[in-house]
Amino acid sequence: MKHPARPLAVTALLLASPAAIAADPPGLLTLVVGVPLLAVASFVLTLLLILRPGTLRRRIAGVLFIPTLLYSLYVALDAATLFQDLGSENSMIGVAFFTLLALSCALFRAAIQRPASATGAP
């Protein structure tokens, strides 16, 4: 039997985030949710690189990264507002967020990439 409350819980979590975006100070969602989420995702993707290349590693990386990326794109709306105050610590939080997002994307690509064949064929 499927759990009908699960989609409701996910919807409630996603709808709770606009309140954090509208909160005073801007960037609260990025600082409290976005940066830690991407830091943990980057750490786990780095650990996955230690595993033997194969289907299991690609599946785990996909299950972790795809929802993280989608939510990070949502948080990016809040992070983009941080660049209005260039030169302040708020802009550095935005830089940290987008740097971690780029790192996560690079680690995901490395985790799902098939190893080159040992025969030397391109």
Alpha carbons 97 and 92: distance in angstroms, whole number: 9
Distances (CA, A) of 19 to 28, 62, 98: 10, 29, 22
Dihedral (CA of 86, 91, 94, 95) sign:
positive
pLDDT of residue 13: 56
**What does pTM read for this prediction?**
0.69
Q: Residue 7 pLDDT more than 80?
A: no
Alpha carbons 66 and 118: distance in angstroms, whole number: 30
How many other C-beta atoms lie within 10 A of the C-beta of residue 107?
Answer: 21
- pLDDT tens-digit readout, 31-66: 778 888 888 888 888 888 887 778 888 888 888 888
Phi, psi of 72 (to 5 degrees): -65, -35
- pLDDT tens-digit readout, 9-21: 666 555 555 555 5
Report CA 2 to chain centroid distance, whole Å: 27
